[in-house]
Structure 1
């Protein structure tokens, strides 16, 4: 493709987004919230059509990633108290790059400025000094007032919304920036529901909150959004994914090696081949990529505008051994719509360390084993007066040290760190010994595989990829080619005219179709062509029209949205026929 062709495609796509946002507002998909008060950046309301589409996508995700995989689902609070986020690392490391204009004081994401105005595609992975250097080198300016930003400091900005829990000396809390922590902190109880058997998965669909520096592009980057996440807990030594289910799934991959190459490009392969060639490093990540690809296709994501991109080393979380994003093409740009990460034991270990609870699963041996264990039995008559309320913490430190490094107890004293201070304890007061123990099993800290889906971005992707314009009967038409199983409304029912008998017949059909479990809308406003256009524009797959012949022959006209083809179907058989079409058991052309 030439540069001119690429530019033309990008402009066409941007025009599609403008039209889509206008359609979304006009037809009740989504719009900026609190419009009566001027709105507020980063917050959107899903209207009747959008809420229905969003709910259908969530149900489709739940069916595939919870029900079909045999995983549990929970619903945790959106506000959690501070210790949770101290343990998870969000208080110290959940930041974006902020740059503030010295003239108008407008705040911007520094990495976004770099990506929008230079050749850098993933500036988020760059260290702050390098981002500052790029801004200076390219003489980037404030997007609001045009003032130069060269030499302006870029700072870390924590994205969490803070709040207080309770009155008076309230307990500090935060609105969760991801749903995952609600799963991790409940692991000690959730493992019991799983009968302490690995592997098992826990899903959650819910709201998350991030105080974005510069929310933009409608519902693509907001401050409140919905996530659908699966935390899958595995024994790293014994558990293997059922790769035979996904080996042959075709995927488009954009690995780190291709991103870093001068002439790099996405590659077409299969899950099995990508694992065999080492392109995907972790089998569990590969498995969930293989599960996700056909699911995205089933909900209407255009597979010619979809890929999996591997995180570069600079953008990958320090605890993630491998991480890939599902990306969709919008406006000529690729946006992240899901992430697939192998998180290791980082999360459970951190919560176990900070909470004092046991975030492990007991793994039973086939036969009891005799092993040597280093143990301590500290002299509390010494530790109590010496350390007071910290005595139990000292005991825990000694136990951890004995398990980790027996040689530390070979001298006369042993050193431990407590609250950033080093203490020396006489070895004779530690009760250190190496004993033979017969054990029935061991406590294993599970590793976590995390597929995390952005629901709002998926909604936008599905709408953008479904947007169509054509001409019918000499008139221009706009319609959304939504998959029937996710469309907000499955069928629209019309009386041809306002005749009482036709209205009664149409209303009776509505009742029958709703009783069959189909989503139905009734419309008797305007001429029939205008009603068709309204339903086309919101993506309703089928329309049913009761006409005067219906009163005679007991049949109605069923119109299919994409082709505008029409069929006559008996009213008596209509609920069963349309239910079969929606379930994929009957093609419209075969009616």
Structure 2
């Protein structure tokens, strides 16, 4: 990580923000190379997960009102474990300290009292000052950034901790765009914010980050997707039950579904994601899908598999980081918003033929409920109606009890107007379930850099090179004149302009000797370099030297063919060996 972070800062990939003012932990600025790399990763994600799958895209605000997060559960359940040093008052992620000092890999799945006991048992000290943390309480710390919306008696708002809620709250309108047909998907790429206790490891754990999320709304009664398109995709799985023994399952998406290892919807997107990771240059020798342990899952997920990448240097102990989560969220989100919001978060599913059903209903005697319960009477009536739909047996006794705002109300059954009635209905309202691929763009960018980073020897000298895939490399081609004289510089600038007009990210460089220019481009991952030399300006037809980054091999090609040759190389339709 040290070498990669140094390279990233020196060559303009990323660096800590606001360094002129001392910097702020957990915030990073992408430089010219990093911004381009990040944009390319986002573009390839949109192409695969949105465009190729036929899903919608939206762009929702990053600030949302408090009721959204009351409904979603983030105000109550979006916490990390905090321990504060009594000596220096620095705060730390208690579970991370446990993972660093023991063989426990997923300490966040443990209860806080057990984590506190582990701090004591392993004599763990404060990383900042070295004071013992034994005996210090471990508390839950909510990760959301709070803000005010408007002046004066303003409304409380929060910076969103995930882009997903921006999709969920707009579901009533989005389902109209989908004409109420399930399944349909909505994607979004944007910023999210989490007030991390102890940001660390460069882009791996930050307070502001970019997510690329797909929320797929599916009919819970459907059998699942057709996985045939990705059935043969090979995946490395790390099921929860295998993790104590460290055993991986090498299989295909199709077999994982057949054997019941992964839910079909989640498995489908593991296959889609694997194909995408391959295109952006992830090393599958250092990659796996790990299933969450039951105590580790988010409050909304019934199952989740993380895409994890090992970003350690060669020869070091594996350093696995989560770069994405593939979760089956069930109907949790839409049900919660349906309960709290003033809109409907269901989809009407029409039957092939009308059905006659026996339906329970209530018609409460408000002349009784009003005097008896005062201002709560209307809410009691609503609660009775909801109970009738969900539990008919509750009305079999002489009294019925409902709960409103945490308080119980008992009503004589004869005052509820409970009855059965036959109705003919053309369909029913269903609450869709949600399948969510959630990708951390920053961590993916870091993984791509870590897996591309290499050191070798060229011309009896050491070289640092980023072997980035052509689909994400910040610069597609660099153009050099051997020297900026005798027409070489002018011709090189013309070639650079022509390639830019053809849609290539081009760097023009005439500074320093040609070997140093090659090394600079190797360090930022530029796949190809074009050099204009004396032979170029003398040849008829004109030729240039084309150099490949990975092998450092060079070939002579006609200038007129350069654009088509680069297009074929970028598309994989030809290789440098072919040239």
Match for residue 492 of structure 2 among 506, 519, 525: 506
1:384 is displaced (CA, Å) by 5.3
Q: 2:315 corresponds to which residue?
A: none
Show the counterpart of 1:86.
Answer: 70
Kindly state the Cα deviation for residue 44 of structure 1 after the two structures are TM-superposed. 0.3
CA deviation map 1:337-364 (0-9, x unaligned): 0011111100100000111421111001
Q: Is the 8 A contact 2:4 2:450 kept in 1?
A: yes
Secondary structure of 2:487's counterpart equals helix
Which one of 250, 253, 262 corresponds to residue 271 of structure 1? 253
Residues 1:132 and 2:143 aligned together? no
Deviates more, 1:239-248 or 1:140-149: 239-248
1:587 aligns to 2:536 (yes or no): no
CA contact (8 A) 2:16 2:24 kept: yes
Is residue 23 of structure 2 the alignment partner of residue 35 of structure 1? no
Q: Which residue of 2 aligns with 1:527?
A: 513
Matches within 5 A, 1:128-277: 128-261=112-245, 264-277=246-259
Q: Distance in 1 between matches of 2:375 and 2:552?
A: 77
1:536-555 → structure 2 map (5 Å cutoff): 536-553=522-539, 554-555=542-543
Q: How does 1:367-446 map to 2 (within 5 A)?
A: 367-380=353-366, 382-383=368-369, 390-446=376-432
Pairing 1:289–2:273 present: no
Q: Distance in 2 between matches of 1:383 and 1:500?
A: 98
* Residues 28-48 of structure 1: CA deviation (Å, up to 9, x unaligned): 000000010110100000001
1:235 Cα deviation after fit? 0.7
> Does structure 1 retain, via aligned residues, the 8 Å contact 2:302–2:330?
yes
1:486 pairs with 2:467: no
Residue 315 (structure 1) aligned to one of 279, 296, 307: 296
Q: Match of 1:5?
A: none
- Is this contact kept in 1: 2:464–2:523, CA < 8 A? yes
Instruction: State the SS of the aligned residue for 1:260.
Output: coil
Give the conservation status (yes or no) of the 8 Å contact 1:493–1:521.
yes
Provide closer, same or farther for how the CA distance between residues 356 and 551 of structure 1 changes in structure 2, counting only shifts above 3 A.
same
Contact 1:518 1:579 in 2 (8 A): no
Structure-2 separation of matches of 1:134 and 1:223: 27
> Deviation of residue 426 (structure 1)?
3.9
- Whether contact under 8 Å (1:497, 1:524) holds in the other structure is yes
Q: 1:71 aligns with which of 23, 34, 55?
A: 55
TM-score of the aligned structures, taking structure 1 as reference length: 0.94
Note the C-alpha offset of 1:207.
0.5
Shift of 1:324: 0.7
Question: In the alignment, which of 546, 561, 570 is matched to residue 558 of structure 1?
Answer: 546
2: CA distance, partners of 1:503 / 1:37: 41
Query: C-alpha distance in 2, partners of 1:408/1:216?
Result: 53
Quick one: distance in 2 between partners of 1:387 and 1:167? 38
Choose which of 305, 308, 312 in structure 2 pairs with 1:324. 305
1:430 and 1:514 map into 2 onto residues whose CA distance is 75
Cα drift, residue 588 of structure 1: 2.3
Question: Counterparts of 1:392 and 1:442 in 2: how far apart (Å)?
Answer: 26
Partner of 2:339: 353
Q: CA deviation at 1:416?
A: 1.6
Counterparts of 2:140 and 2:243 in 1: how far apart (Å)?
26
Aligned-CA RMSD value = 1.5
Q: What residue ranges of structure 1 are gaps of 5+ in the alignment?
A: 1-16
8 Å contact 2:234–2:250 — kept in the other structure? yes
Q: Is residue 445 of structure 2 the alignment partner of residue 459 of structure 1? A: yes
1:461-480 correspondence runs (5 A): 461-480=447-466
Of the three residues 319, 322, 339, the one matched with 1:336 is 322
Deviation at 1:385, TM superposition (A): 5.9
Q: Does structure 1 conserve the Cα–Cα contact (< 8 Å) formed by 2:401 and 2:408?
A: yes
Distance across 2 between alignment mates of 1:398 and 1:552: 91
Q: Hey, what's the Cα distance between the residues in 2 that align with 1:341 and 1:179?
A: 14
1:301 aligns with 2:282: yes
CA shift at 1:68, angstroms? 0.8
Give me the TM-score of the superposition, normalised by structure 2.
0.96
Q: Is the 8 A contact 1:491 1:521 kept in 2?
A: yes
Name whichever of 493-502 and 374-383 sits farther off.
Answer: 374-383
> What corresponds to 1:570 in structure 2?
558
Structure 2 unpaired stretches of 5+: 313-317
Aligned to 2:436: 450
DSSP 3-state at the match of 1:131 = helix
Encode CA deviations 1:415-435: one digit per residue, 9 max, x unaligned. Answer: 221111112234444332211
* Distance in 2, Cα, partners of 1:65 & 1:493: 34
Contact 2:368 2:415 in 1 (8 A): yes
| C-alpha deviation, 1:54, in angstroms | 0.3
**2: CA distance, partners of 1:496 / 1:266:** 52
* Shift of residue 470, structure 1, vs aligned partner: 1.0
Query: How far is the alpha carbon of 1:537 from its aligned partner?
Result: 0.5
| Structure-2 separation of matches of 1:400 and 1:260 | 44
What is the deviation of 1:89?
A: 0.5
Structure 1 stretch displaced more, 530-539 or 566-575: 566-575
How many residue pairs match? The answer is 572
- Secondary structure at the aligned position of 2:469 is classed as coil
Separation in structure 2 between the aligned mates of residue 451 and residue 120 of structure 1, nearest angstrom: 27
**Aligned counterparts of 2:460 and 2:117: Cα–Cα separation in 1:** 56
Q: Which moved more, 1:580-589 or 1:34-43?
A: 580-589
Q: Distance in 1 between matches of 2:244 and 2:483?
A: 63
